[in-house]
Structure 1
Amino acid sequence: MNKVIIIGTGPAGLTAAIYLARANLDPIIIEGPEPGGQLTTTTEVENFPGFPEGIMGPDLIANMRKQAERFGAAFRTGWVNQVEMSNRPFKVVIEGGEELLAESIIISTGASAKYLGIPGEQENIGRGVSTCATCDGFFFRGKKIIVVGGGDSAMEEAHFLTKFATEVHLVHRREELRASKIMQDRARNNSKITWGLNKVPLEVIASESGVKGLKVLNNATGNEEVIETDGVFVTIGHTPNTGFLNGQIDINEIGYINVKPGTSETNITGVFACGDVQDSKYRQAITAAGSGCMAAMDCEKFLDGHAVQDWSQTLSV
């Protein structure tokens, strides 16, 4: 039986792995077929402390993984098909049928950005297409940017990007916005934000050097048009990766795992959550790493009070 299984990598899961491995708790980390989380789709990361010249997202993840392995963390690759958390020890089933038992579980499966699903979008992620203004806004200093979306996040991202861009053009498929009035008013009062309402994105236009425009359908005229831009920020929300839990854990109204304030503790004793799977607000690599540290420390404290011998009866049954 394992002391702790970490489901998911990325900066949260890997930070938890580093702390737990250094504590001689021999964590098992289960990474999906595309490990590393959203940082693996990011080019240069300039806002993670300790890298004054910046670092490529995949390189940052690779360094964290090596650090965890150095202290004895072990990795398994594959989707988690089933988790049973009704009784301890918990059971995790990986694709292929491998079953693992654990005294505790840390969930760090992150959240996936929603995309438009249009031609040219996926091919140009990191070449002008982004889902994170805080991460990538700096690279568009003095350039034109399009923000796609109509909610509070879109208004907030558009306002933030005006710190760098000469113009931020906000595109939304309907005439009405979903954003709250206060966020709409804030955006409308920003002279750098222009509006492209009632326009449906059709295709990201790009050349070898990167994004050049966004083709849209003007619902009012029925005509297609191309809006010139240097970057397209897609801000239509995120989906927390909690489907595999099958409702066994408490989540909030938008699908993120609920944790006890100030901790990583979930409603199930011995199960912890960290990173974007429980954070719908910040969604940064550094905050994810910090919450991974919290989860590791909470988990270590839990294991101190729930030794293996306490479960011998459960295992014999």
Structure 2
Amino acid sequence: MTRTITKIPEFTDPLGETLHLLRLTGTLYCRSELTAPWGVDLPSFDGCMMFHIVTAGHCWIEVKGEEPRLLQQGSLVLVPHGNGHCIRSGPEEDAVPLFDIPVEKVSDRYEIMRYGGAGESTHITCCVVRFDHVAGQKLISLLPKVLHINSWADDEDSWLHSTLRFIAREARDLRPGGETVITHLADILIIQAIRSWIDSAPEAERGWLAALRDAQVGRALAAIQREPEKGWTVALLAKEVGMSRSGFSARFTNLVGESAMRYLTHWRMQLARAQLKETSDTLAVLAERLGYQSEAAFCRAFKREFGVPPGSVRNIDTP
């Protein structure tokens, strides 16, 4: 299969451009109708994000290393790194492995789970999604273990609040096309939740995310992400953002934590690893696509970055 690197439309906001690159690929969406007592033990899903939208009732979520959290109706909770976790009707309830619970298959990507005793009812839309771009993967790596938003407590006019109510109605009625509506709305909610975290989290005020917001360095990062194959130099990037070479170099390193050329190499290598896993393109084709003058130069750069030759990642995952 031949696959080229998609050209990215130019945005005025580098952070917005990065959010555009999230490109969610839905793996599974499940409408869960649960009656107390109940507990579900979800396994780890490597390379995926899991999230739950509580559309009726309440439940508890417990992620290893984190305190149990009560999720009220209207809660949206993300487990960004695909860590295994439990959701329960009560904090002490036993949890049954997810794949031991029967489900009704509605479509390839949507299913319905009905499980539990005869007690209080809780409805949850559960999703497992994957990100298929390096920018999205980098952004997700910066998120906390658990990201929790309680939208029902927000302003009644909040669009997030309204979207959650719309999902709740679609999940309840499941009219023709309802699963398609839910999956698209759920994807939007993930991005909105990440935006909400970026706007409020102290962690987003430093490092790569802070650099994306910087007027000059953010534009340089966006330029690298948009055209990784271009023959970028420090001088060319500085000219791109209207700074002196020395001023830009110092500002980039201070904000990002590494030099501009090191960042460019790292970015190219992450793209290369993704392309090696997803395509059958030759090393020569990838080298040219990512701005290397020869296959040998590309292979040397790849081995310096990952400690193994590029051909090896077609069969195994590199650390």
Q: Identify the TM-score tier after normalising by the shorter chain.
A: under 0.3
Relative to its length, the structure with more strand (as a share) is: 1
Q: TM-score, normalised by structure 1?
A: 0.23
Q: TM-score, normalised by structure 2?
A: 0.23
Q: Which has the higher helix share?
A: 2
